[in-house]
């Protein structure tokens, strides 16, 4: 059975390991473990805006995601951003992310959020040119929304 719960400080090692694996798998990046550990700890100790959520399958932690918050002037409400989604390889194709999304959608709506957003990699040549001219990096993302 799938259960989604807020992360607690004792989830630190699980979340750090998931973020390290996610960065390596999705972008071939090696993250600074000291910086990452302190960033995760700040969220788990509520010293930074955002929250981790843990997915457990039959009592074993198998997935995680980070939620951050952004004000939407168009909606006059906060929008929850789904970030750093990672599902352990052995738990993939078992509806874990679908369960995380459904749970977070309900939690966001109950909290009065305007909706959920997440981004995925894509290309937009014109935007890339504008951002590069401003000195920003060349990451390319596509945003998906589920507004309430």
For residue 66, pLDDT over 50 is answered with: yes
Could you give the dihedral angle defined by the CA atoms of residues 128, 130, 136 and 142, in that order, rounded to the nearest 10 degrees?
A: -40
Q: Give residue limits of the domains in the chain.
A: 2-118
**Which residue carries 């599902």 as its tokens?**
87
For residue 135, pLDDT over 70 is answered with: no
For residue 123, pLDDT over 50 is answered with: no
Q: Of the segments 23-27, 88-92, 117-121, which one has the largest average pLDDT value?
A: 88-92
pLDDT given for residue 147 in this prediction: 81
pLDDT, averaged across the chain: 87
Burial environment of residue 139 by CB neighbours within 10 A (0 to 12, 13 to 18, 19 or more):
exposed
Handedness of CA 29, 30, 33, 34 (dihedral sign): negative
Share of the chain above pLDDT 90, in %: 64
> Which of 137, 100, 96 shows the shortest CA–CA distance to 116?
100
- 30 Cβ contact partners less than 8 Å away, ≥ 6 residues apart: 20, 23, 24
Task: Give the C-alpha separation, 84 to 6, whole Å.
Answer: 15
CATH of domain 2-118: 3.40.630.30
* Confidence label for 141 from pLDDT (cuts 50, 70 and 90): low
Q: What confidence tens digit (pLDDT) does each residue in 8-61 have?
A: 999 999 999 999 999 898 778 899 999 999 999 999 999 999 999 999 999 999
């Amino acid at each position: 059975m799938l259960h989604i719960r807020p992360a607690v400080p004792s989830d630190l090692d699980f979340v750090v390991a998931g973020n390290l694996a996610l960065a390596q798998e999705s972008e071939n990046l090696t993250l600074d473990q000291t910086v990452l550990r302190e960033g995760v700890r700040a969220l788990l100790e509520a010293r930074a805006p955002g929250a981790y959520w843990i997915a457990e399958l039959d009592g074993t932690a198998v997935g995680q995601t980070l939620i951050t918050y952004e004000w939407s002037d168009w909606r006059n409400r906060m929008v929850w951003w789904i970030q750093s989604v990672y599902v352990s390889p052995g738990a993939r194709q078992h509806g874990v992310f679908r369960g995380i999304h459904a749970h977070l959608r309900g939690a966001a709506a109950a909290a009065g959020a305007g909706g959920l957003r997440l981004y995925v990699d894509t290309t937009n040549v014109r935007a890339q040119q504008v951002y590069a001219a401003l000195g920003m990096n060349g990451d390319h993302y596509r945003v998906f929304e589920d507004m309430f």
